[in-house]
């Protein structure tokens, strides 16, 4: 049964490779939609758990590990190998194909337009990814409050470790309050 899922998983990841901008958390909304809601290949809690696990691993390989774990969950060992390739290869090949054309036209007005147009799309995908993580992790109102506080603290220039500490203290305080859903 897991092997039967591999072609569709590959197709979904290849399409996401070409339409996602920035990868990482920005892919969580489409992952939650496709893998949890549409195909029911994994639970929201499992996806949130894998996401949390791979975010805690240092280095640049978090996204590759996330997709590898998701692929393994959905399609076994073959999925853990094919899924990262399906996510990385299409966009990489597109970049290699477009790069000479892009570099040959410095200062072209359409390049400036493209760069300015893509920014809000990337930001929107980032917000949707964050909301998707909160939703599938079933963070409830407390999770949303902690996320909003962390976002504001980071915007105010607070250091990352301090934001994490603040988030932990706030979440613990909210958890202790009667009637607060976590």
Tens-place pLDDT, residues 25-84: 778 888 888 999 999 999 988 888 888 788 777 776 678 888 999 999 999 999 999 999
pLDDT, one tens digit per residue, over 7-34 is 999 999 999 998 887 766 778 888 888 9
Residues 6+ apart with CB under 8 A from 132: 28, 29, 31, 32, 33
Q: What is the mean pLDDT of the chain?
A: 83
Q: Which helix (H) or strand (E) holds 151?
A: helix 140-155
Residues 6+ apart with CB under 8 A from 19: none
């Amino acid at each position: 049964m897991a092997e039967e899922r591999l072609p569709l998983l590959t197709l979904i990841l290849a399409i996401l490779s070409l339409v996602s901008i920035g990868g990482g958390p920005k892919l969580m909304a489409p992952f939650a939609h496709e893998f949890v809601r549409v195909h029911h290949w994994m639970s929201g809690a499992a996806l949130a758990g894998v996401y949390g696990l791979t975010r805690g691993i240092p280095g640049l390989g978090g996204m590759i590990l996330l997709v590898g774990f998701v692929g393994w969950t959905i399609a076994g060992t073959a999925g853990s190998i094919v899924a990262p390739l399906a996510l990385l290869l299409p966009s990489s090949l597109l970049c290699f194909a477009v790069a000479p054309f892009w570099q040959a036209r410095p200062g072209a007005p359409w390049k400036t337009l493209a760069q300015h147009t893509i920014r809000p799309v990337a930001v929107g995908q980032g917000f949707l990814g964050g909301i998707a993580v909160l939703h599938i992790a079933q963070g409830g109102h407390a999770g949303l409050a902690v996320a909003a506080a962390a976002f504001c603290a980071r915007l105010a220039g607070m250091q990352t470790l301090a934001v994490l500490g603040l988030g932990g203290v706030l979440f613990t305080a909210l958890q202790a309050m009667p009637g607060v859903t976590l």
